[in-house]
Amino acid sequence: MSAGVNRQRMQALVAAERDSYIARNPESARLAAEAGKNLLFGVPMHWMNDWSTPFPLTVREASGARFRDADGHEYVDFCLGDTGAMFGHAPQPVAQAIARQAKRGYTAMLPSEDAGPVAAELARRFGLPCWQFALSASDANRFVLRWLRAATGRSKVLVFNGCYHGTVDDVFVDLVDGVPTQRDSLLGQVHALTDHTVVVEFNDLPALEAALQQGDIACLLAEPVMTNVGMVLPQPDYWEAAQQLIKRHGALLVIDETHTISSGPGGYVRAHGMMPDALVIGKPIGGGIPCAAYGFTEELARRVEQAKRSAPPGHSGIGTTLSANMFAMAAMRANLEQVMTEPAYHHMFALAAQLAQGLRDVIARHGLPWCVTQIGARTEFQFTDQPPRNGSEAHAVMDFELEQAIHLYLLNRGLLITPFHNMLLVCPSTTAQDVARLLSAFDDFLADTIQKQIC
């Protein structure tokens, strides 16, 4: 439980906010009831029920940093599709590119004219020369793990406790009281993941070295900054030392930049001088169109090619029919060349810094022991006075009840932040006025719920 919050007052506030939400959104309520007749759990994907609302909010249109719901309310969006729309909803260059491509075909199982330029631009940005494509970062991570196991002849994957890499089976292993344990929320899993997945805490170099010394780790799959259990930053010089350990023990490093592309046009790796063997990026790279990419160093690409050529004929288990379709490639090219630009990042960084400092000021004014972390355009507040150092610490300070209360309060005031934790993104269309509006509403929430005297 988070210190300083009056639970009784907060629960009363939430009840009033739920009533307000219901009264404000009759059309969303009607649409949710109709959808419930045919949609499992009443939503297109079951996790859409995990928002703080009594029933799902139906979106009618979205553009830039805003969206409008079925009842006509406009919202400033600081969630931005949990990174999928990091550069704004329906960026004009992407919209124009896919409109053109829509007249020229969607998919053909053959390269389009956009494929080469997209790969060249990815190579320029990330410093990895050889690229392939997928429909999601989940797929891309799965494909990379398969390639690297084949290339190294090693079966095990190393991950960090509390990590997130989409729906890749291998990563659903946590440390429970220090023991690697298959996550009990994982549905339908019939194979023991701990046979081939090793898990250690982020920022723990001795644990990393001990795992690597076994000599059976194909690769470490990691975000350079943990983002889905709350933000967890690397300790100073952690990645420099970790990369040396990985190389010394013959393993490979795969960096998942799907969220940390908020760090700059070349992601966290270029901003901080990292040199991974492989890199994955998903969601935002096509401006919200389903697509992903993964790249290899020249040396690893040759090992991967050799593994494929040495294998018997038949399906490799890598790739899907719609991977690298013409529609997605057109979106990626437009987004990379015209949307994910240096000026766009400069705008986002400045606003995110304003947001982060504003959150710190509001939190300090109310005397709360909370912290704020920023990675480029990505900002998060957490219910602890010191930033967590690993997944266990980050998970321990989560407060689901308080998160839900904050999210619903903001939503009823036309402000959306990411569910499941307290992450906020700014995009090229976000304004200083949008940030000020969010900070004002956040201040009001704390004023309504703060514990005036601790009982």
Angle between helices 7-24 and 400-411 in degrees, nearest 10: 40
- In this predicted model, what pLDDT tens digit does every residue of 311-354 receive, in sequence order? 999 999 999 999 999 999 999 999 999 999 999 999 999 999 99
Q: Tell me, what DSSP letter sits at residue 64?
A: B
- Percent pLDDT > 70 in the chain is 98
Interatomic CA distance for residues 126 and 138, integer angstroms: 19
pLDDT of residue 334: 98
Interatomic CA distance for residues 240 and 274, integer angstroms: 8
pLDDT of residue 454: 37
State yes or no: pLDDT of 298 exceeds 70: yes
Interatomic CA distance for residues 212 and 152, integer angstroms: 14
- In this predicted model, what pLDDT tens digit does every residue of 142-198 receive, in sequence order? 999 999 999 999 999 999 999 999 999 999 999 999 999 999 999 999 999 999 999
Helices vs strands, H then E, count in the chain: 14, 16
Report the chain's mean pLDDT, rounded to a whole number: 96
Pairing mode, if any, of strands 292-296 and 130-134?
antiparallel
Closest CA to 274 of 301, 234, 304: 234
pLDDT of residue 453: 38
Distance of CA 169 to the CA centre of its chain: 17
Report pTM.
0.96
The DSSP line for 197-238 is EEEE-TT-HHHHHHHHTTS-EEEEEE-SSB-SSS-BPPPTTH
Interatomic CA distance for residues 261 and 169, integer angstroms: 23
- Exposed, middle or buried by CB within 10 Å (0-12, 13-18, 19+), for 185? exposed
Instruction: Supply φ then ψ for residue 405, to 5 degrees.
Output: -65, -45
- Region 303-316: what's the mean pLDDT? 95
pLDDT of residue 455: 34
- In this predicted model, what pLDDT tens digit does every residue of 369-392 receive, in sequence order? 999 999 999 999 999 999 999 999
Q: Which residues in 297-389 belong to E strands, given as ranges?
A: 371-375, 378-382
Interatomic CA distance for residues 158 and 221, integer angstroms: 6
Closest CA to 93 of 370, 419, 333, 306: 333
- In this predicted model, what pLDDT tens digit does every residue of 33-83 receive, in sequence order? 999 999 999 999 999 999 999 999 999 999 999 999 999 999 999 999 999
Helix (H, G, I), strand (E, B) or coil at 438: helix
pLDDT of residue 2: 67
Interatomic CA distance for residues 384 and 3, integer angstroms: 9
- Region 263-288: what's the mean pLDDT? 97
- Percent pLDDT > 90 in the chain is 97
Q: Which two tokens stand for residue 388?
A: 């967590």
- Region 109-119: what's the mean pLDDT? 97
State yes or no: pLDDT of 3 exceeds 90: no
Distance of CA 57 to the CA centre of its chain: 21
Number of other CB atoms surrounding residue 15 within 10 Å: 10
The b-or-e profile of 120-148 (16+ CB within 10 A means b, else e) is ebbeebbbbebbbbbbbbbbbbbbbbebb
State yes or no: pLDDT of 239 exceeds 50: yes
- Cα 89 to Cα 85, 233, 287, 426, 427, distances in angstroms: 5, 28, 7, 12, 9
Distance of CA 394 to the CA centre of its chain: 16
Contact 438, 423 (CB under 8 A): no
